[in-house]
Every structure is written in C-alpha cells, then in structure tokens.
Structure 1
Amino acid sequence: MTPDPAPSPSPSSSPSPPTPVRVLVCDDHAVVRAGLLALLGSAPGIEVVAEAGSGEEALALARRLAPDVALMDLQLGEGIDGVETTRRLRALTPAPYVLVLTTYDTDADVTRAVEAGATGYLLKAERPEDLFTAIHAAAAGRPSLSPPLAARVLTHLRTPRPTLTPREHDILTQLTRGLANRDIARALYISETTVKTHLRRIYDKLGVDTRSGAVALAKEQRLV
C-alpha cells in the first residue's frame, strides 16, 4: 500500500512592513514646507499626509486626517502661534503627538511648548537623521530634545533658575529690547509705577541692581 504523500509545506508568509508614521507639517514658510516634504519623502517609515501654513489650517487638517505626529514651527505669522496650536492639537480625539521644529531656542520657548503638550523640541539646524529619529520617537510617545537643549536642561536642573511671573517675564522681555519704563508701560497697558514695582522684584530675583545687569543675566540664562 502506497503511503499518502506528505502535505506540501505552506509558503512562508513574509512579515508585512510596519505602518509608516503619518505626519502633518505645519510651517508658515512655503519654501521651508517644500524642503521638509522633499526631505521626509526620502525617509523610511514616514509618510507626510498634509501640510499647513497656519495653526488654524493645521487644526482643520488634523481633525480630518488624524495624523500620528504634527511637525510644528513656533512662529506662524498671523493667527495662533505654534504653542497655542500645539495645545489645541493635544486636545483633539485622537490627539497627534507634536514635535516642535524651530529656530527659536530660548528656555522660555522650550518651556512654553512643553507645557502646551509638545513631545519633542528640535532645532532646524539638526541633521536629517536626527529629525527622522525624533519623528519615530514622537510617534511612540517618547520625548526628544536637540542635544544643545538637552545639555542646557540638565544644567538648569542642577542649578535652579529664578522663577518669574508672566508679567515679570513680559517686562524683562521689553527691558532686553532697550525700552524705557514709560515705553514698557505703554506696550503692556500698565502704569509706569507698576513697571517700577515689577522691576524691583525682578532685580531681587535675579540678584542684580541695574537694568544692564538684568538684561545681561536674562540673555546669559536665556530667560527671554
């Protein structure tokens, strides 16, 4: 009796490729967007699903397309800025992760973005490979910072910095622009006496006695 032939082995199925990270690019400069789209188009595992030139446009596209990651500039011209856009994107359901990509590297900008819900913060001077890595990290909910920013954050954690109120920060920002007390009062719609009161508190917190000392320390510690 002839034995039945052994069943042929089923062809091994190759694993399906991972789903690409779906990215929304938001930058108010068309040339920058075009460069990013060309760059990300060559990146493995990344798919750009939309581009936006404003925060409002980014929100509308995100509601419709539900991207995994929004690549966000901070300054977006007229309308809401990148920080407010980040805050509103993170309130959506589903909410995309937000990776800030900007030229602004002050501690105040980083803090505002992170407090608004940004998962990562990169500078536009980074290498393309670092940007690709950060996008994949953001899609997995992992934080990422540009190396210079990460080093500064560690330094500041070891050396506590003065904490300014929002109004004190506004006044210090105007001070670094060279404005006199009267001009600061006009810019912020407060009295000159109020400006002087806040300046005394700022000097005490920074440990300085003069306007020039406050400006120098603010720039050194990137408080504005």
Structure 2
Amino acid sequence: MVRILIADDHAIVRSGLSLLINSQPHMEVVGTAADGKEAVDLSLQLKPDVVLMDLSMPPGENGLTATKKLKETAPEINILVLTMHDDEEYLFRVLHAGASGYILKSAKDMELINAIQTVSQRAAYLYPSATKTLIQEFLFHVQKGEDVEHYNILTEREQEVLTLIAKGYSNKEIAEQLILSVKTVETHKSHIMEKLHLKTRPELVRYALKKGLLDL
C-alpha cells in the first residue's frame, strides 16, 4: 500500500485528489496539509511514502521551500510536485530542491496515479514535455560541440553512485544499498562532480538522462 500525503492550499483540490487516490486499491491518503509548513510537520509525523506537493500555497510556506526542508530532514520521503506551471525554470528549481517528480495539474487522472506509483518506487518521474525540454538542452550543447564523453572515465563504483544520485536517493540510502559508509559515498559524489564538470543536481539529472541512466 502506497501511503500519500497531499499538500495544497485549496480544500476542494485536496478533497478531489483524496477521492481519486483512495479509489485506487493500492493507494491511501494518510493526511492533507494546507501549506508547506504543515506538509513538513505532518510528513515527519506520518512518514508517508509520497508527498504530493503543490508549489504555490499562499499565504503559507510554498512547496519549493517545504520540499527543500523535507528532503533535508527526511530524505527517504519521496516528493512529487503538482503544479500549474509548465515552465523549465520551475522544473529545474524543483529538481534542485530534491523532488523526485514534477507533474502538471492539467494531467489526466491515471497519469497522476502512474506518477505517484513511479515516485513511490524511488524512480524519477517527469511529464513528457519536461523530458523533452531536458533532451533539447542536451542536443543544443551537442550541436555546439560541447558533448564531452566523460562517463567512461568514472570507475564502476562511481557509475553506480551517479545513477542512484540521479534517481533521487540520499547519501545514506546509497550507502546502505552499496554497503558503503556515508563518507565514502560523499567522496565518490565529489569525484563524480569533478570528473564530469557538474556543479548542481539538475545538471547531474540532465547528464543521467543523456546517458540513459534514468528510466522515465
């Protein structure tokens, strides 16, 4: 059973989403929040598998801030951002904050259910046009002659760590999966960023997409 917490400032949206999600045999809404602060507090209390997080929740704390806080305090909780903003600026900010997925409020019901299921399995989910945006950016750099094959200079262990980082796993989770210390994972991450000339999480996700390391 996938346990879900819904964060949205509109009561009618929370009710509608709850009805949709609870109608699925393998999903259950365990709580709802009206702003980011409440979403963080309830998530730490209820420990849901997935938080469905709205970006804009005036006048309370917004979803982007809440996502950052929640990933810092409970990195094991997966966050799927639900928003009306079809804008690459929001996409990159959401990924940088640590969210595992990004889907539009205009999405069809079953697309949303699929996104929740995907994120609950610790995989990344991006709506189709967002994936296209990332790929187009890669192609732009390739056409400019900026495509440098650095992946092969990574060790096998670094390649494993890179894939898990891009999929949204925390350093602790990676350490547990690969039977390493957190400090060793952090060292691998530092070497990866240095070798690939990457500085931010969105850059790493885009690189992983290019290399086919993420199954979106």
What TM bracket, shorter-length normalisation?
0.5 to 0.7
Runs of 4+ in structure 1 displaced over 6 angstroms? none
CA distance in 2, matches of 1:95, 1:27: 21
Q: Which residue of 1 aligns with 2:62?
A: 81
What is the TM-score when the length of structure 2 is the normalising length? 0.63
Q: Which residue of 1 aligns with 2:210?
A: none
Q: Which residue of 2 aligns with 1:58?
A: 39
CA distance in 2, matches of 1:87, 1:24: 16
Query: Which is richer in helix?
Result: 2
CA distance in 2, matches of 1:83, 1:96: 15
Unaligned runs of 5+ in 1: 1-19, 161-224
Tell me the percent identity: 38
Superposed CA offset, 1:52-84 (max 9, x none): 000011111011100110000100102321111
What is the TM-score when the length of structure 1 is the normalising length? 0.61
Contact 1:69–1:97 under 8 Å retained in 2:
yes
Match of 1:98, SS?
Answer: strand
Q: Which residue of 1 aligns with 2:81?
A: 100
Q: Which residue of 1 aligns with 2:186?
A: none
Contact 1:89–1:95 under 8 Å retained in 2:
no
The number of residue pairs the alignment matches comes to 141
Q: Equivalences for 1:44-55 in 2 at 5 Å? A: 44-55=25-36
* Residue 5 of structure 2 corresponds to residue 21 of structure 1: no
Match of 1:141, SS?
Answer: coil
Pair member with larger Rg:
1
CA distance in 1, matches of 2:140, 2:67: 29
Q: Equivalences for 1:50-199 in 2 at 5 Å? A: 50-93=31-74, 95-160=76-141
CA RMSD across the alignment: 1.2
CA distance in 1, matches of 2:12, 2:71: 27
Matched letter for residue 109 of structure 1: Y
Unaligned runs of 5+ in 2: 142-216
Superposed CA offset, 1:102-138 (max 9, x none): 1011111111110000000000111111111111111
Q: Which one has more relative contact order, counting CA pairs under 8 Å at least 6 apart?
A: 2
Matched letter for residue 132 of structure 1: I
Contact 1:97–1:119 under 8 Å retained in 2:
yes
